[in-house]
Amino acid sequence: MTRTPLTLEQLNALSDDAFTEHFAGVLEHSPHYARRAAAGRPFADVEEVAAAFARAVAADEPGAQVQLIRAHPDLAGKAALAGELTAESASEQTSAGLDRLSPEEYAEFQRLNAAYHERFGLPYVVCVRENTKDTIFEGARRRLTHTQEEEQAAALHEIGRIARLRILDLVQEGRQEKRMDGRLIRIP
């Protein structure tokens, strides 16, 4: 579902439930992070919103972080073919051309996805909006050389990049605000 972007003033005034609903798709199938991020309001700018989500993930236990990584779909995987991706993931995969792969490219993605699951027990997560098909392939091959810990850190870093872009889509830049002496003030 496409959401209408809100101004900072509007999102700062939302109830916790409304905030959670508006930002529920920021982290794949994990709206509880939106509820945690809501506690950081009021936000002075969109980067503070993104930082609140990053802090919510970083503060979580390692097992929950692995669940968050596993909530992400395989790139050009079965969920994409079956039309079962979240609206956000479907749009992002389309933006990188992953819906228009040649049979050879599709087969390569299937090999890479299988290798990821075998080696790490995780999907390969990358911010596709900041990459091309070629850099996505190259990154997957390179990251297959990671240790389990390195790969989990890389996946969480990429999830942060994905979340930031999704947040930018949901927040309308309007009046600027700034923190001064612990208070939020508007800049004309």
Residue 150 or residue 179, greater confidence: 150
pLDDT over threshold 80, residue 12: yes
At 89 the pLDDT is 64
SS3 109: helix
Return the bridge partners of 187, or none. 176
Average pLDDT taken over every residue of the chain: 87
* 93 burial level (CB within 10 Å; 0-12, 13-18, 19+): buried
Write down the catalytic residue from 29, 72, 146, 157.
Answer: 72
For 60-71, what is each residue's pLDDT tens digit? 999 999 999 999
Residue 2 or residue 117, greater confidence: 117
| Cα-based angle 168, 169, 172 (whole degrees, multiple of 5) | 75
SS3 114: helix
Instruction: Enumerate the domain spans of the chain.
Output: 6-180
pLDDT over threshold 60, residue 185: no
Q: Report DSSP state, residue 10.
A: H
For 95-128, what is each residue's pLDDT tens digit? 767 778 888 998 998 999 999 999 999 999 999 9
| Share of residues in the chain with pLDDT > 70 (%) | 81
22 is catalytic: no
pLDDT over threshold 50, residue 73: yes
Q: Are 135 and 170 in contact (CB under 8 A)?
A: no
At 117 the pLDDT is 96
pLDDT band, very low/low/confident/very high, at 181 (cuts 50, 70, 90): low
At 148 the pLDDT is 97
- Range 33-46 average pLDDT: 96
| Share of residues in the chain with pLDDT > 90 (%) | 69
pLDDT over threshold 50, residue 36: yes
Q: Distance between CA atoms of 44 and 178, rounded to whole angstroms?
A: 5
Superfamily of segment(s) 6-180: Oxo-4-hydroxy-4-carboxy-5-ureidoimidazoline decarboxylase (1.10.3330.10)
For 18-34, what is each residue's pLDDT tens digit? 999 999 999 999 999 99
At 188 the pLDDT is 42
